[in-house]
Chain A
C-alpha cells in the first residue's frame, strides 16, 4: 500500500504540466519583477569609465535655450541624460580603488555615510572598507552597507577609552581614526598576496569630506604614492603640494608647519596597493604623534618626496574638500591672501 502511495505521489505532477506551468508563469514573474524595479534604478546605457567624458559629451551636444522672464535671464542647459547601473559593472582592466573609511557613532553618522555612499556608487571597481570605532559591528552600519549595493568590507576596532575622563571619551593621545585605518591596512595585507598582481590603489576617505568623481579617476593611475590639493585644511582655502617645472613635488604650500616631511592631509594622497603589501610594517603611528604629523608617520615609511606623483593638473585643481560641520577657518589667508585666488575651491 505504501509503495503504491509513493508511486502515485511521484507520478502526480506530470512532466508536461510542469513545463506548461514554467512556460506560463516564468515570463510573467520576470515581467512583473522587472517592471516593479524599474522605478528604483536608472536604465543601463553606455557608461564610459573616464570621468571627463561627461564634459566632452556636453560640449558636443549642448542645446541651450535663452529667453527672458521679466528681468531675469534664464539659461536652460539640456543635457543628454546618461544612466547606469549602481554601482557600475566590474571591469577586468581597471585597478580596484580600496577606500578606507573610519567611522564612529554620532547623530550625523548615517547621513554622512549615506551621502558618501551616493558618491562612491558612481565609481567603477570600488571596494569600500568601512571600519567602525566600536566594540561590535553595529546593525545600523550593517544594514546601511548591505542596502547600498556597494562592494564592501565591514570591520571594527574600538579605540580604548580614557577612563580618567567621562566614561565615553576616547583616549585623546590616539588621533581619531588611527586604529581603524591601521586595521584596514592589516586586513589588506592579510587578504592580498604580495605576489598577486591584482592592481589596487588605497585611499583614506573620512566620512565627512566631499569627493568629486574626478578624484577617483586621478588616483587610479598611482604607481607609488600620488598627491593633490585639499580644500579647507590648515586654516586655508586649500593646501597643495609644490610642483616644479619637471613635474616633481619639492615642497608644500601650507602655512601650518610646511616643513613636515609630508605636509599633506589624509585626503590628499593615495598609495598603490603593491607598496602597502611590500612595506608590510608601515602603519600610522599610534601615540606620540604631533598634530599634523599623522600622515607623515605613514608616508615616510613608504616613499620619498621625489617619488611622489602629482595629480589634478599638477596640483592646481581642487577635487576634494575637507568639509566639516562648522564654518571653514580662513584665518591663515591673512590680509593679502595666501592661496591663489584664481584656483576655484
Chain B
C-alpha cells in the first residue's frame, strides 16, 4: 500500500497584494440546499482572500441561510432577490436576478472605494465542484479568463480551443456557434472590467435558453481578449456536478479532441 504524509509547510506571503476572489452563488431552498452550501463552504474556506456573495432566490432572507452564513467561516455577503414567477418556467434561464444582484452589490460597494481594488469574480453555482487549483488559476485574471468545465453539455468536458495562447474556438457538445460557447462555471472576470462596464448584466428580455453566458460576455469582452487558463485549457479544474446521472450522449464517435483529458 502506498502511504503519504505531507510535510508541514508554513507559507507566508504578501497577503495584502493578493486580488480578492468574489464568488457569486445563487441559491434556492430545497432539501439538499444546506448540504450543498456546507460542502461548498468547506472548499471556499481553503482559499485565501475569497469573499462569498450568496444570493437567495427568496422574498426574504431565510433562517437556514442566515444561520449558515453566521457560522460559515469565511467573509460572506448574504443577499436575496426573488425570481418573478413568470420567469420560473422550464427552459428559461435560472438565477438571472440573483447573479445580477451580486453584480449590483459589487458595483455599489466599490463606487465609494478608491481604485485600484484588485479583484476577480466568478459565478459559483452551489452544486458544482471546484478544485483548489482553479482559484490559483483565476487569481491572475487581467480581464476575462476561461478554462475547461467537466461533465457539461452532454460531454465529459467542454473547453475553449487554444492556439498560441489565444482562444480560437470551442470544443463543445451544444451549439458551438455561440459567440462564447462556454458554461457559467468556465470563466472569471476581473473586478476592473465589471466596474468599467456598469451596464453589463444577465439579460431577461430576449434571452434564449443557453445563451446567458454568451450574451453576458459579449457585453464585456471579445474572444481575442480571453485569457486561457488551466494549462492552455487542457486541464479540468471544475466540474458541473448535478444531482442526476451524467449524460454522455454527446461524446463524439468521430472528430475526437486532439488531446486526452482526465475528468
Q: Do the two chains bind?
A: yes
Chain A interface residues (CB < 8 Å from chain B): 34-35, 37-44, 54-55, 58, 62, 69, 72-79, 81-83, 85-87, 89-90, 106-108, 110-112, 114-115, 118-119, 121-122, 137, 140, 142, 145-146, 149-155, 187, 210-213, 231-232, 237, 318, 321, 323-328, 330, 344-345
Which residues from chain B contact A112 at a C-beta distance below 8 Å?
A: 129, 241
Contact check: which of B32, B61, B132, B245 meets A321 at CB < 8 Å? B32
State the Cβ distance, A247 to closest chain B Cβ, in Å: 25
Verify if B262 is at the interface (C-beta below 8 Å from A).
yes
Contact check: which of B14, B42, B74, B108 meets A69 at CB < 8 Å? B108
Contact check: which of A38, A81, A108, A137 meets B14 at CB < 8 Å? A38
Q: Can you list 24 A-B pairs, Cβ within 8 angstroms, ordered by A?
A: A34-B12, A34-B13, A35-B14, A37-B13, A40-B136, A43-B11, A43-B12, A43-B13, A43-B15, A75-B61, A82-B73, A106-B246, A107-B246, A108-B151, A110-B150, A118-B130, A122-B42, A149-B6, A210-B35, A210-B38, A323-B35, A325-B243, A326-B243, A345-B35
| A153–B3 alpha-carbon span in the complex (Å) | 4
A210 touches B13 (CB 8 A): no
A326 touches B6 (CB 8 A): no
A74 touches B8 (CB 8 A): no
B11 touches A137 (CB 8 A): no
A150 touches B6 (CB 8 A): yes
Report the stretch among B75-83, B164-172, B207-215 that lies at the interface. Answer: B75-83
Per the 8 Å Cβ criterion, residues 144-170 of B in contact with A are 150-151, 156
A114 touches B129 (CB 8 A): yes
Report the stretch among B64-72, B175-183, B194-202 that lies at the interface. Answer: B64-72
| A43–B31 alpha-carbon span in the complex (Å) | 35
A55 touches B14 (CB 8 A): no
Contact check: which of A90, A107, A146 meets B156 at CB < 8 Å? A107
B13 touches A38 (CB 8 A): yes
User: Which of chain A's residues has its CB closest to B150's CB?
Assistant: A111
Verify if B18 is at the interface (C-beta below 8 Å from A).
yes
Which residues from chain A contact B38 at a C-beta distance below 8 Å?
A: 210, 212, 321
| A38–B77 alpha-carbon span in the complex (Å) | 26
| A155–B2 alpha-carbon span in the complex (Å) | 7
Per the 8 Å Cβ criterion, residues 1-51 of B in contact with A are 1-6, 8-15, 18, 31-32, 34-36, 38-39, 42-43, 45-49
Which residues from chain A contact B241 at a C-beta distance below 8 Å?
A: 108, 111-112, 325
A74 touches B79 (CB 8 A): yes
State the Cβ distance, A116 to closest chain B Cβ, in Å: 8
A77 touches B69 (CB 8 A): yes
Which residues from chain B contact A40 at a C-beta distance below 8 Å?
A: 11, 136
Per the 8 Å Cβ criterion, residues 205-263 of B in contact with A are 236, 239, 241-246, 248, 262-263
State the Cβ distance, A231 to closest chain B Cβ, in Å: 7
A42 touches B4 (CB 8 A): no
Q: Total interface residues on B, using CB and 8 Å?
A: 69
State the Cβ distance, B81 to closest chain A Cβ, in Å: 6
A110 touches B11 (CB 8 A): no
A107 touches B8 (CB 8 A): no
State the Cβ distance, A157 to closest chain B Cβ, in Å: 11
| A233–B140 alpha-carbon span in the complex (Å) | 42
Which residues from chain B contact A77 at a C-beta distance below 8 Å?
A: 69-70, 75-78
Which residues from chain A contact B262 at a C-beta distance below 8 Å?
A: 110, 140
- A110-B262, A152-B4 given; A41·B48 CB < 8 A: yes
Verify if B87 is at the interface (C-beta below 8 Å from A).
no
Which residues from chain A contact B139 at a C-beta distance below 8 Å?
A: 39
| A40–B49 alpha-carbon span in the complex (Å) | 11
- A77-B77, A83-B48, A110-B262 given; A210·B39 CB < 8 A: yes
Which residues from chain B contact A153 at a C-beta distance below 8 Å?
A: 1-3
Which residues from chain A contact B47 at a C-beta distance below 8 Å?
A: 42
Which residues from chain A contact B124 at a C-beta distance below 8 Å?
A: none
| A70–B71 alpha-carbon span in the complex (Å) | 28
| A291–B49 alpha-carbon span in the complex (Å) | 46
State the Cβ distance, B95 to closest chain A Cβ, in Å: 16
State the Cβ distance, B7 to closest chain A Cβ, in Å: 9
Verify if B104 is at the interface (C-beta below 8 Å from A).
yes
- A140-B262, A325-B242 given; A86·B46 CB < 8 A: yes
A58 touches B2 (CB 8 A): no
Contact check: which of B42, B132, B150 meets A213 at CB < 8 Å? B42
B79 touches A78 (CB 8 A): no
In this complex, which of B6, B47, B48 has the most chain A Cβ atoms within 10 angstroms of its Cβ? B6
B10 touches A115 (CB 8 A): no
